[in-house]
Amino acid sequence: MHDPQNDRERIVITGVGLTAPLGNNLQDFRSNILSGKSGVVQYKTRYMGPVLAGVCNFDTLRYQKRKDVRRGTRAGSISVYCANEAVRDAGLDWELVHKDRVGVFIGITEHGNVETENEVHEISQFEYDTSVWSHHHNPRTVANNPAGEVTLSLKITGPHLTLGAACAAGNAGFIHASQMLRLNEVDLVIAGGVSESIHTFGIFASFQSQSALATHQDPAKACRPFDVDRTGIVVSEGGGLCVIERLPDAIRRGAKIYGEIVGYAMNSDATDFVLPHAGRQAECIRLSLSRAGLEPKQIDIISTHATATEQGDIEEATALRDVFGDDPGVAINNTKSFIGHAMGAAGALELMGNLPAFDDSIVHATINLDHQDPRCGLKNIVANKPRQKKNVNYILNNSFGMLGINSSVIVKKFCSL
């Protein structure tokens, strides 16, 4: 017998808003990915000169006034754009939404570095006279800033948080949204992840010092997950936010449903500041499968985290072989190969890039995979060209980050009641 109460536990995605190096909406993003286009370009950053990066080009004034942009942050502008796009895409009559029952939960890798570097550079032009320091600095750099700027833009009076979860942050946003909806703390959530990373020279300098910053004569070929010729990470900016709600509410208003969040997990390696641990990653994946009530063979697409660092790629490949073996029904891909590593936005954008597969049954490729590292011996990676499947019913999205934070989210193709 059908239990309507159980439906209130079902959490669905009903709106998508994004800006990425390959587009400012899901249609363009997906189209460019399927065509094999790269969003990586040469980019000039302070003190270092030209580097390779994924750069977004969205209209900051579409939902903000010039004063708002000057007063706020790049991460805030990305968040405001993506949140408003997600609300529009969800078809919500925003004037009728009870704003006190809306939550905003945005994952970030870091926040405040851009503004602090800019202010230090500014006072350096005035012999470090701190009277030049902006009075906007504190509200710009508080950790809740990106989510807070969204509440100001959309007049949301419910809870808002930014979730510091390194490069697992996008998934963390989706997970927290699901939990808050099931706790009945909110009725509607705007959640996902954002990153302003390319606007701080420090992240490039740190990866370079670690010998983990990608280089290549051709920017389009710089990001090479699982490839033996990889040279490191391509840093990118971006944002991906979704409208997430309970299934009955979505059905009641006739919403388009992109997918249903059916499983998720987070855990910690507890082993190293930066080096990943395959065993803990495998445990995280298994826990998400268990919570979804699924066997590994039921997953159709695995969206990998692989960043094109040697140990990172090897550890994830080891974890995937441990859980999935060589099941031919599981297709494996990587979105970073197209756009680089969007840090806090990575998990969100990587899931979004795969969501349309529920409709077209196409698994997008992993580009630049010309010579697969034998230590990343995954037989089912979709290399360089998209692959057509008969059906796509389940997508597993992996995101892992520094300090050993791991996350996996499973989304199911929505089937009507």
Which is nearest to 64 in space by CA: 55, 53, 72, 56? 72
d(CA 364, CA 188): 30
Do 272 and 245 share a structural domain? Answer: no
Supply the pTM of this predicted model.
0.96
Residue 72 lies in a domain: yes
Query: Residues 164, 168, 172, CA angle at the centre, nearest 5°?
Result: 70
| Residue 417 within a domain | no
- Assess whether 158 and 238 both reside in one domain: yes
Q: In degrees, to the nearest 5, what angle opens at C-alpha 169 toward C-alphas 171 and 152?
A: 105
Q: Which of 196, 219, 252 is the last residue of a domain?
A: 252
Range 57-65 contact pairs with CB under 8 angstroms and sequence separation of 24 or more: 57/24, 58/19, 58/24, 59/24, 63/153, 64/153
Instruction: Give the domain CATH number at 60.
Output: 3.40.47.10
Q: Which domain holds residue 366?
A: 263-412
Residues 357 and 394 in one domain: yes
Asked, for residue 257, whether it belongs to a domain, the answer is: no
Domain for residue 85, yes or no?
A: yes
Please check whether residues 358 and 406 belong to one and the same domain.
Answer: yes
In a domain, 402, yes or no: yes
Q: How far apart are CA 272 and CA 181, in angstroms?
A: 33
Do 223 and 289 lie in one domain? The reply is no
Domain count, the chain: 2
d(CA 374, CA 94): 52
- Name the domain boundary from 218, 233, 252: 252
Question: Do 156 and 60 share a domain, yes or no?
Answer: yes
Residue 139 to residues 107, 285, 329, 357, Cα–Cα distance (Å): 18, 37, 49, 40
Q: Is residue 366 part of a domain?
A: yes
Mark whether 43 and 161 lie in a shared domain.
Answer: yes
Neighbouring CB atoms inside 10 A of 79's CB total 34
Q: Looking at the domain assignment, is residue 291 inside a domain?
A: yes
- Residues 284, 236 share a domain: no
Do the domain assignments include residue 258? no
* Domain shared by 245 and 288, yes or no: no
d(CA 1, CA 5): 12
Length of the chain: 417
From first to last of the 417 residues of the chain, give the pLDDT tens digit: 445 557 879 999 999 999 999 999 999 999 999 999 999 999 999 999 999 999 999 999 999 999 999 999 999 999 999 999 999 999 999 999 999 999 999 999 999 999 999 999 999 999 999 999 999 999 999 999 999 999 999 999 999 999 999 999 999 999 999 999 999 999 999 999 999 999 999 999 999 999 999 999 999 999 999 999 999 999 999 999 999 999 999 999 999 999 999 999 999 999 999 999 999 999 999 999 999 999 999 999 999 999 999 999 999 999 999 999 988 899 999 999 999 999 999 999 999 999 999 999 999 999 999 999 999 989 999 999 999 999 999 999 999 999 999 999 999 999 875
Q: Which of 181, 211, 214 is nearest to 14 (CA)?
A: 181
For residue 3, the model assigns a pLDDT of 55
Select from 196, 182, 175, 166 the least CA-distant residue to 82: 196
The domain boundary, picked from 225, 252, 279, lies at: 252
Do 87 and 222 share a domain, yes or no? yes
236 shares its domain with 268:
no
pLDDT computed for residue 417 by the predictor: 57
- Is the CB of residue 163 less than 8 Å from the CB of residue 169? yes
| Whether residue 286 is found in the same domain as residue 212 | no
Kindly report the CA angle at 357 between 328 and 32, in degrees rounded to 5? 110
